[in-house]
Structure 1
Amino acid sequence: MPYFDCARGRLHYRRWPVDGAVASMVLLPGTGQHSGHYHRFAAALRPAGIELWALDTAGQGLSEGDPAAPGTIAELAVDANGLLNLVRAESDTAPVLMGHSLGAVTALAVAAADPSDLRGLVLCGTPRRATEFAPHPGPAVLAVHGVDDRRAPIDAVRLWTARHQSVDLREYADAGHDLLHEPVQHRVSADIAQWVLTTAR
């Protein structure tokens, strides 16, 4: 199984390879989730030629660490960059970084620190605290969000995206926080794939 070492222990990740991939995406899951939850998303991206890599956050899945204390945002950003560096070593193009919930906060922190090596940024179920990070003009940003999200109400994201015209917000009616595991998952996956192929550079 694939692992890499970081300051806080060994972190596990999964890769769903695609022959002749046109883009690579790195996914940072939310709290309580791990890379094994995203095989359907990887299968949905495959026809578009998008290869998915997904990280097990410290303490989740097969990664070492305390499940109750995944780390500070700064520590999580370092972990994310560890996987991004592996992807960059395998790919000819810069990766797209995607984060769900806590992963969205981490992804924005990574992009804010150094946007130059990202092809694009996809945010899913973005919590209010993530809106403290303004999107950098470097990578294009897509935000996908359920209208009925109770964990991260959409109003904060609407206000945030209204202030930052560089963010493309897609709203999904009758959908909650975990878009990639809800009935709308196929439409969300298709929208993300199309956006990566037509917008992310």
Structure 2
Amino acid sequence: MPYFDSARGRLHYRRRSLDPVAATVVLLPGTGQHSGHYHRFGAALAATGIALWTLDTSGQGLSEGDPHAPGTLAELVADARGLLEVVRGDTTTAPVLMGHSLGAVTALAFAADQAAELRGLVLSGTPRRATEITPNPRPPTLAVHGIDDRRAPIDAVRLWTQRCGSVDLREYADAGHDLLHEPVRDRVADDIARWVLATAG
């Protein structure tokens, strides 16, 4: 199984191999989730030629660590950097970094210092605290969000995208926080795939 070493132990990741690859997405899950939860999403992306790499956050899935303490933001960013280094060893094109919930916070924090390493950002279920991070310059960014998200209410994301002016916000009615596991998941996956391919091109 694929692992890489981090300062906090061995971290596990999954990858869906494709040949040829039109684009690459690296996904950072939310709290309590791991790479095994994203097989449907990976299959949807693969059907369009997009390779998906997904991290098991420290303490989740098959990664070492404390399941009740995923780490500080600095540690999470370092873990994301570790996976992106593995990805860079496998592809010649810059990946799109995607984060859900806590992963969205991590993705934005990574992009704040390393925007040039990314083709784009995809943010899902973005918490309010993530909107306080404004990478400059920021890579092209897509935000997908459920209108009925109670864990991360959409109003903060709407205000943030208005303030930034360059974020493509897609809103989904009758959908909550975990868009990739809700009835709208096929439409969300299709929107993400189309955006990634357009950005990668």
Deviation at 1:200, TM superposition (A): 4.4
- 1:33 matches 2:54: no
Deviation at 1:113, TM superposition (A): 1.2
Match of 1:180 in 2: 180
- 1:117 matches 2:117: yes
The aligned runs of 1:70-81 (5 Å cut-off) are 70-81=70-81
The aligned runs of 1:49-128 (5 Å cut-off) are 49-128=49-128
Match of 2:149 in 1: 149
- Measured in 2, the distance between the counterparts of 1:198 and 1:161 equals 20
- Measured in 2, the distance between the counterparts of 1:107 and 1:158 equals 18
Deviation at 1:135, TM superposition (A): 3.7
Match of 1:162 in 2: 162
- Measured in 1, the distance between the counterparts of 2:86 and 2:14 equals 12
- Measured in 2, the distance between the counterparts of 1:199 and 1:90 equals 20
Indicate conservation of the 8 Å contact 2:23/2:200, yes or no. no
Indicate conservation of the 8 Å contact 2:151/2:177, yes or no. yes
Segments of 4+ moved more than 3 angstroms: none
Indicate conservation of the 8 Å contact 2:119/2:199, yes or no. no
Indicate conservation of the 8 Å contact 2:109/2:135, yes or no. no
Indicate conservation of the 8 Å contact 1:137/1:166, yes or no. no
- Measured in 2, the distance between the counterparts of 1:89 and 1:166 equals 30
Q: CA RMSD in A?
A: 0.9
Percent of aligned positions that are identical? 75
Deviation at 1:22, TM superposition (A): 1.1
- Measured in 1, the distance between the counterparts of 2:193 and 2:51 equals 11
Relative to 1, partners in 2 of residues 1:46 and 1:33: Cα closer, same or farther, differing over 3 Å? same
Indicate conservation of the 8 Å contact 2:112/2:138, yes or no. no
- Measured in 2, the distance between the counterparts of 1:99 and 1:37 equals 14
The alignment covers a number of residue pairs equal to: 201
Corresponding residue SS for 2:126: coil
TM-score, with length taken from structure 1: 0.98
Deviation at 1:166, TM superposition (A): 1.2
Please give the per-residue CA displacement for 1:1-29, whole angstroms capped at 9, x wherever unaligned.
11000000000000011110011110000
Tell which deviates more after alignment, 135-144 or 170-179: 135-144
Deviation at 1:199, TM superposition (A): 2.6
Alignment gaps of 5+ in structure 2: none
Match of 1:193 in 2: 193
Indicate conservation of the 8 Å contact 1:13/1:54, yes or no. yes
